[in-house]
Structure 1
Amino acid sequence: MVEDNEFGWQSLPDVLLEDIFGLLSIKEKHIASQVCKHWFHIFYSSKVWAIFVLNDETLTKRKYNYYLGYERTLDHYRTQIFLNRVGHQLKKIIIKPMVNFFNLYEFMKILSYFAEFYDQNPLRKVNTFDFTFSCHQLLERDGNQETVFGTGGKLLQSLMRLLRNLKGLLYLSLRDLLLEPSEAQYLLDDVAINCCQTLKSLTLLNCSKILYPILHVGVFLNLKNLVISPQHLSDDIVVMLSDTKLQDLWIVQNKYTEYCQPISSKTWRSVSKHNPLMRIHLVVTGKVNSEIVWQESESVKSVIYDSPIFSMKSESLFIITSMYSSNLEHLAFHGLPRYHMSNKFSQRADTSLVLLSQMCPNLKTLIIRELISTATLLVIITSAQQLTQFIVRKNAIIKRFDWKQQTDWSDHYYQWIKYNSTSYERTFDEISKIMGKKWLPLTDDEFKRIHPNNRF
C-alpha cells in the first residue's frame, strides 16, 4: 500500500519547487525552507535566487523615528548576510519605484561594495538590471505649476557606480530618472565601455527632464531591441542605429515625455537602406491624451495606444492608413476606456477602421476597445485578409446593421452582412469560419489583462 506522503507537496519535482520558491519574497522563502529537508535543500538552489526584486520593504526593519514615528530602514546586517549567501547567484536585479530614497541609496552602495571587495566580481552573473525611479511631484500653489523631481546627486552616483560593476549585462532598463542634461550625458559611460558588444536589449524612458539625445545608444553594436523616449532620439542617433544589428525600435511616449519633433523622412529613408530589417513600433502609454509623434518611415510595423483616456479618433486612423498602410502589422488600443463614447454611427470610427483594414494588406493584429457594431466586425474580418489576432470587448459590441450598400459590394455580400449582423451568435460564428478557429469577444476582465509589453 502506497503511503499518502509519497504524493504530498514535499515530493514535488525540484524543477516545480524552484519555480514556486522563485515567486516568493525573501521572508516567505525562509519560512518555506523550514517545512522539510527537501525544501531546505531547494532554498539554496541557484534558480531560486536568480531574480531579486527590491522595494520599500525588502531587507528592512522597523525603526522608531522621534519625529516620524515607525519607519522601515535598510537592515545592513541582513543585507550583508544575504549577499554573502546568495549574492553570487543573482542573475536579474529589479528595483521598483521606492519612496525611501535613503534605503535605495544604501542598498546600491552596499551592492557595489560587495562587487568590488572580491578579486572576482560576485555580480558577474547578473545579466539583467531593471531600474525605475519614483519621481516626486510638487505643486506650486501660487503659480499653480507642477514641478517634477527626478534622481541626481549622490543617488545618481551610486547608480552609475553599480552599473560600472555589472559587466555582464545583456538587458538594461532605466526609467524615469529625469536627469539634467549635464548629468544624462555621463549616464551610460561605463555601460558603453563594458557592454558595447554584449548588450542585447536597452530601455531608456525619460532619462532626462527635457529634450536630450543620448548618443550612447548607437555604440551597442549587437543591440537587438531598443525601447526609448522620443526626446532621446535625433537624426544622428538614428543614423548610428542603422549601422547596428537593431531589429526592433520602440518609441514610447508617456506623461513625462516632452514635446518632440519627429525624425526627418530623409533620415528614415537612409536607415531603411542600411538596415532594412529594422522594425519601428510607436507607443503611447499611461494617462496621457497626447497624440503619437508620427514618424515618416516605411518601417513602422506597430501603432499601440495604452492610455485609458485617449479615444480612438478617425483623424488618427486616417493618418495611420495614409502613412503606414504598406507595412503596418499591428494596431492596438489597450486598457478599458475612461471616456464617453457615442453609439451613433456617424460619431464612431467604424468607417475609418474598415478603410484601414482594406488599405493595410499586412495587418495581422487588431485590438479594439471602442463601441463597434456587429456589421462593422463582419466588414473588417472580410477586408483584412491576413488578420490572425482580432480582439474586441464584448460590452462594446452593438447588435446593429448600420451600413449602406457600398459601390464595390455585391448584393449577395450586402445581404450576408445584413442577415448575420442581426444576431450575436451568427456574427461570432461567421467570424470563426473566416478565421478558421473559434472566435469570441472578451469580457472586460479578460480585456484589461492584455498588455502590449511589460517593458513599458
Structure 2
Amino acid sequence: MANCVEEAPAIVVTKILSYLSWNEKLNATQALPSWKSHLHTSAAWPLVQHGSEGEENVYFVKEKRAHLLICLKIYGKYIRHIDLAFGYNTGRSGLQILNAIANFCPNLLSFRFAPHESPVPHTLPETTLTKSHVLATCSILSNCKHLNEVGIISPIISWSHAAETNLLLGLCCANVAHKITELELFSGSLLDHEGYLKLLREFTGVKKLMVRREKVNNEILLGLVKNGLQEITLYQDEELPLVDAQQLGEKFWNDVLKINSNFKVDLILQYILVIKDSFITNMPLRSLVLDDLVNIVTKGVIDHLVTHYSESLESFTYTNLYLENFESGDSRLPAALVTMVKKCKHLHTLKYGFPLSSTSVLLIAKARKLRELIIPAVEVSYEFDWEIQEDWDDDFRQWLTNNCKSEALLENSVSELLGFEWHLFYEHFNYMTFGRNLCLNL
C-alpha cells in the first residue's frame, strides 16, 4: 500500500499536496520522500497561510516559525500567495520570515500581512514594529514585482513614536504605498494620531479600506473612490464633533455613487447614541453592526433602515453586553426584525443579542432563507407571544404553536426552513465573535 502511494501519478500527488497546509506538505514529504520533487511546482502551493499563533504555546510557535522560514527559502519561488499573521511579538523570527519572502518569493502575486493578529494594549511596547520590520515589509513590495494584491491588516502604530517605526509612513517613503489594495486600520493603528488621516491619499491603489469614521472627510474619501476604492468599513465609538459629523453626508454619497454605483459601506457603531439621523438615506450600506450602544434601538430606527437600505443591506448585527437594565428593549422590535428580513431582499445574515421569543425566531426563519442566523440561547423564551396576523391560515398558526414550545422543536424547524443544521448560540455573544470581515478586533 505504501508503495502505491509513493508511486502515485505526479498530477495526483500535486493535487493532494495543494490541499495541505504548508507544514502538512513538509510532514507529508518526510513520510513519503518520493513526493518531495512534486513540491517543486507552483500547482502544489496555491496558498501559504500562517496564523492563529495566539492559540498555540509560544514555544511551539518559535519552532513553527523556524520551519516556515526553511519552507520559504526552499520553495519560495513556487509560492504565489501568502497570508501571514503574527499572534506573538514579531521579533527576530518574524523579521527573518519577512526578509525570506522578500528574497526568495520573486513570483508572489498576493501578500496579506497582519503584524499583530490579536494585539493587546498593555503589550504595546513589545508588539509595535521596529525599523527593521518596516524596511523588510517595504522590501517585499519592492522586490516582488508581480504583486497585484497586498493587504496590510491592523498594525499597531503609535504616531508619537519614531517615524521610522511607522509602517504607513515607511510604505509612503519607500514609494510602495500605491501597491496596497487592502488596508485595515483599527484603533490601535491610530494611537496618538490627531486630525484626519491625510496620508491615505498616498494609497492610490487601495480597493478595500477599514478606518475610524473621524479619520476621513469628503476630500480624502472621494479621492480614494476616484482612484478605485470599492468598499469601506467605517468604525465609530465616540460622538463626533459637529465639523466631523457634517462630513460624508447625503451629497457626498451621491457623488460617490456617480463614480461607482456598486460602492459598498460596512458600518460599525459602538458606545454611541444611535437615532434615525445616524444613517444617511442614500449611503450604500451593505452591513451594519450595532454593539453596546448607549441607547436602545427602536422600531422607528429599524423601519428607517428598511425604508432606505432595503436594496443594499446584506448583514445586520445588534448586540449588547452592558445595558442590562434595558435588555428587554423596544417590545415592537421583534416584529420590526421580521419586516426587515422580509423586505431587505439581499439580507443573508442576522445576528441578534436581545430577548426574542421562539415564535419570533420561527417567523424570521420563515421570512427568508438566511445564510446565517445567530441567536443566543439565553435570550430565547419559548412562548407564542404574537397576535394572530391576517395572512396566517390555520395550518400556519398551528405550525407556529407546535414548534415554539421547546429548544429542540425550534432548532429542528429552523433547520428545515434554512436548509442546514441550525442551533442556538451558546457561547459568549458579541459582534467580535462572528468573523473578521466585519469587526475591528478591538
Given the two structures, how large is their TM-score scaled by the length of structure 2? 0.69
Post-superposition CA distance 1:32-66 (Å, at most 9, x none): 21323442233444344441527879xxx98xxxx
Counterpart in 1 of 2:256?
271
Conserved? CA contact 1:137–1:148, under 8 Å: no
Q: Supply the distance in 2 between the matched residues of 1:283 and 1:208 (Cα, whole angstroms).
A: 17
Post-superposition CA distance 1:110-139 (Å, at most 9, x none): 654x26xxxxxx434241231232645449
CA shift, 1:303, in A, is 0.7
Of structures 1 and 2, the larger Rg is shown by 1
The amino acid across from 1:87 in the alignment is: G
Counterpart in 2 of 1:241?
224
Say if 1:291 and 1:9 are closer, same or farther in 2 by CA, change over 3 A: farther
Q: Supply the distance in 1 between the matched residues of 2:263 and 2:412 (Cα, whole angstroms).
A: 38
Q: Kindly indicate whether residue 181 of structure 2 is the aligned counterpart of residue 173 of structure 1.
A: no
The amino acid across from 2:373 in the alignment is: I
Q: Supply the distance in 1 between the matched residues of 2:86 and 2:330 (Cα, whole angstroms).
A: 38
Say if 1:219 and 1:419 are closer, same or farther in 2 by CA, change over 3 A: same
Q: Secondary structure at the match of 1:123?
A: coil
Counterpart in 2 of 1:143?
none
Q: Kindly indicate whether residue 286 of structure 2 is the aligned counterpart of residue 301 of structure 1.
A: yes
Counterpart in 1 of 2:209?
226
The amino acid across from 2:134 in the alignment is: L
Matches for 1:44-123 after TM superposition, within 5 Å: 44-49=40-45, 50-53=47-50, 82-91=71-80, 92-99=82-89, 101-109=91-99, 111-112=101-102, 114=103, 122-123=105-106
Say if 1:267 and 1:47 are closer, same or farther in 2 by CA, change over 3 A: same
Match among 323, 340, 361 for residue 377 of structure 1: 361
CA shift, 1:94, in A, is 0.5
The amino acid across from 2:74 in the alignment is: R
Counterpart in 2 of 1:159?
137
Greater relative contact order, per chain length (Cα 8 Å cut-off, separation 6+): 2
Task: After superposing the two structures, state which structure 1 stretch, 316-325 or 240-249, moved more.
Answer: 316-325
Q: Which has the higher strand share?
A: 1
CA shift, 1:18, in A, is 1.3
Match among 268, 275, 279 for residue 283 of structure 1: 268
Conserved? CA contact 1:401–1:418, under 8 Å: no
Say if 1:163 and 1:208 are closer, same or farther in 2 by CA, change over 3 A: farther
Conserved? CA contact 2:274–2:293, under 8 Å: no
CA shift, 1:100, in A, is 5.3
CA shift, 1:278, in A, is 0.8
Counterpart in 1 of 2:31?
35
The amino acid across from 2:224 in the alignment is: L
Post-superposition CA distance 1:71-118 (Å, at most 9, x none): 959999x88865442222233140313225233344435654x26xxx
CA shift, 1:280, in A, is 0.8
Given the two structures, how large is their TM-score scaled by the length of structure 1? 0.68
The amino acid across from 1:274 in the alignment is: I
Matches for 1:384-403 after TM superposition, within 5 Å: 388-389=370-371, 391-393=373-375, 395=377, 396-403=379-386
Q: Secondary structure at the match of 1:108?
A: helix
CA shift, 1:416, in A, is 6.7
Q: Secondary structure at the match of 1:251?
A: strand
Match among 301, 324, 347 for residue 319 of structure 1: 301
The amino acid across from 1:444 in the alignment is: F
Post-superposition CA distance 1:358-406 (Å, at most 9, x none): 3673242233343311332355467x5x66446244834422122346x
Q: Supply the distance in 2 between the matched residues of 1:378 and 1:29 (Cα, whole angstroms).
A: 46
Say if 1:232 and 1:295 are closer, same or farther in 2 by CA, change over 3 A: farther
Conserved? CA contact 1:95–1:131, under 8 Å: yes
CA RMSD of aligned residues (A): 4.9
Unaligned runs of 5+ in 1: 63-69, 116-121, 140-145
The amino acid across from 2:158 in the alignment is: L
Say if 1:378 and 1:312 are closer, same or farther in 2 by CA, change over 3 A: farther
Q: Supply the distance in 2 between the matched residues of 1:44 and 1:315 (Cα, whole angstroms).
A: 57
The amino acid across from 2:297 in the alignment is: E
Counterpart in 1 of 2:425?
444
Q: Supply the distance in 2 between the matched residues of 1:47 and 1:401 (Cα, whole angstroms).
A: 56
Conserved? CA contact 1:371–1:398, under 8 Å: yes
Q: Supply the distance in 2 between the matched residues of 1:351 and 1:9 (Cα, whole angstroms).
A: 65
Q: Secondary structure at the match of 2:361?
A: helix
Say if 1:431 and 1:229 are closer, same or farther in 2 by CA, change over 3 A: same
Post-superposition CA distance 1:122-161 (Å, at most 9, x none): 434241231232645449xxxxxx9997445444344344
Post-superposition CA distance 1:223-255 (Å, at most 9, x none): 5433334354222112113323333222246xx
Task: After superposing the two structures, state which structure 1 stretch, 413-422 or 348-357, moved more.
Answer: 413-422
Q: Supply the distance in 1 between the matched residues of 2:420 and 2:324 (Cα, whole angstroms).
A: 25
Q: Supply the distance in 2 between the matched residues of 1:37 and 1:212 (Cα, whole angstroms).
A: 58
Conserved? CA contact 1:242–1:275, under 8 Å: yes
Q: Secondary structure at the match of 2:134?
A: helix
